[in-house]
Amino acid sequence: MATIRYNAGASLRPPSSRFRSPTCILSFFRPTKSKSARAKSDLLSLISDQDHGLKTQSDPSKRAEIISAIDALELLGEGSVTTGKSLSATWRMLWTTEKEQLFIIKNAGLFGTKAGDVLQVIDVEEMRLNNVITFPPTGVFFVRSTIEPEPPQRVNFKFTSAVLRSSDREIPLPPFGQGWFESVYLDDDIRVAKDIRGDYLVVERAPYSWTE
């Protein structure tokens, strides 16, 4: 009769080359930094020659490509909290679909000037937001707002006042609206947002801080 021998010291664990632990399997499906970096690079490449979005207005296929790239980043940022301290910054616009901002950028020359940096200045701790369009060397138009973060990604805002300022005068303007935006992707370099009107915004952290 055959004898079956057991090696008491042998491991009963299956060979690692054929089996993976649940942790290893789950990690395969988690978004990785390389996926984020690739998706971010694709988006930045698509918007790099779009003149803040002015060229995109007359190119529906390019707009569709850019929005698809935004959707890819949104998927990677799904579930992340983007309403905390990391949201506080001077953000410089790279690309947008917001018609009002693009109109001002395009037509600034009619007023004998040229649009410079377009900014979104957010202070979460102070519950404050300024939307800013600069007109070098000294001109600026900005809209003050109060904000109310609604984690994980939404920020509600309400305009409180607006100011058109030059080197020698300041013209106050009345507030004119409220709404919300969602930062669907946020990292150390860029932020991607969608708002209540269905507009998109891609901004980068500016190398300076804007103050009134």
What is the DSSP annotation of 85-140?
GGG-EEEEEEEE--HHHHHHHHHGGGGT-----EEEEEETTTTEEEEEEEETTTEE
Inform me whether the pLDDT recorded for 10 exceeds 50: no
Three-class secondary structure assignment of 160-189: EEEEEECCCCEEEECCCCEEEEEEEEECCC
pTM exceeds cut of 0.85: no
- 3-state DSSP assignment of residue 168: coil
Query: What's the distance, CA 8 to chain centroid?
Result: 58
Strands 170-173 and 154-165: antiparallel
Q: What percent of the chain has pLDDT over 90?
A: 77
Q: What is the mean pLDDT of the chain?
A: 88
> How crowded is residue 139: how many other Cβ atoms within 10 Å of its Cβ?
18
Residue pLDDT, tens place only, 103-128? 999 999 877 889 999 999 999 999 99
